[in-house]
Amino acid sequence: MKTLTVSVVTPDGPVLEDSYEMVSCKAESGELGILPGHIPLVAPLSINAVRLKRENHVDKLAVNGGFMEVRPDKVTILAQSAEKPSDIDIDRAERAKERAERRLQSKQDDIDTLRAELALKRAINRLRVIR
């Protein structure tokens, strides 16, 4: 079975470098499935899980935006942040979700709604990846 080298990098350094048969993720334009031999592509990513398939197993990463560069034999993801399920603190993610929901429900003028919505999306994404 042919594979792709997948490299995930954040400003804090590399998160993952491994070979996979398929990469699935959510770009701003919609869902993408990348197989070896894919045409070159650059796409902005949404806050969502990246699914990495090898044999009959799927690894997941919580990715918070960024870009994906695709070449026939390699996928590079440059993300603001990316976390493996084992690196996610479930209690912290739950607290962040509750805090963001409270901010959005308060409807106060001094609340940065966009920032609260993004915090909520990041927290929900982390929780989805570990469940």
Rounded Cα distance between 60 and 53, Å, is 9
> Global pTM?
0.85
How confident is the prediction for the chain on average, in pLDDT?
92
Q: Does domain 4-83 have CATH number 2.60.15.10?
A: yes
Query: What fold does the segment set 89-130 form as a domain?
Result: 1.20.5
Show me where the domains of the chain are located.
Answer: 4-83, 89-130
Rounded Cα distance between 54 and 5, Å, is 12
Residue-wise DSSP of 31-72 = EEEE-TTPPPEEEEEEEEEEEEEETTEEEEEEEEEEEEEEET
Mean pLDDT on 72-93 = 94
pLDDT digits (tens, 9 = 90+) for 103-113: 888 877 666 78
Rounded Cα distance between 65 and 68, Å, is 9
